[in-house]
Amino acid sequence: MGYRVSLTTRAQRDLAKFYDANHAEDSEAALRWYRGLKNATLTLEKSPDRCPPTPESKKLRHLLYGRKPHVYRVIYQVFERDKRVEVLHIRHGARRPIRRSEMK
């Protein structure tokens, strides 16, 4: 049985921001990239432990999506007991390390 993947309000805002900022509505390439990011996030339902812990916290993991210099981090937490993955934040990989307060 797989894990249930859910996105926090913050992660949903991040996705919406990427969609708007990249004009995915008007660009086939941007829409493909956006869909790829969403689909990569949903693959966490199969084996979320395949991704490494984040530098910020060993309790969090991050999935890297894209190619340099456009690598994005999908930061998430795995709840083994509930078989659930909660995506907390999605951000560009070159940004400074995330603070706990930024994940709300």
The residues spanned by each domain of the chain are 4-95+99-103
CB 6 within 8 A of CB 82: no
Give the integer Cα–Cα distance in Å for 29 and 39.
15
Count other Cβ atoms within 10 Å, centred on residue 60. 20
Task: Write down the mean pLDDT value for the chain.
Answer: 88
**Residue 69 pLDDT:** 84
pLDDT in tens, 34-62: 899 999 999 999 999 999 999 989 999 99
**Residue 62 pLDDT:** 96
What lies within 8 Å, CB to CB, of 94 at 6+ separation is 69, 71
**Residue 94 pLDDT:** 72
Residues of the chain with confidence (pLDDT) below 70: 1, 96, 100-104
Separation of first and last alpha carbons in the chain: 29
**Residue 1 pLDDT:** 63
Give the integer Cα–Cα distance in Å for 89 and 35.
17
CATH class of 4-95+99-103: alpha beta
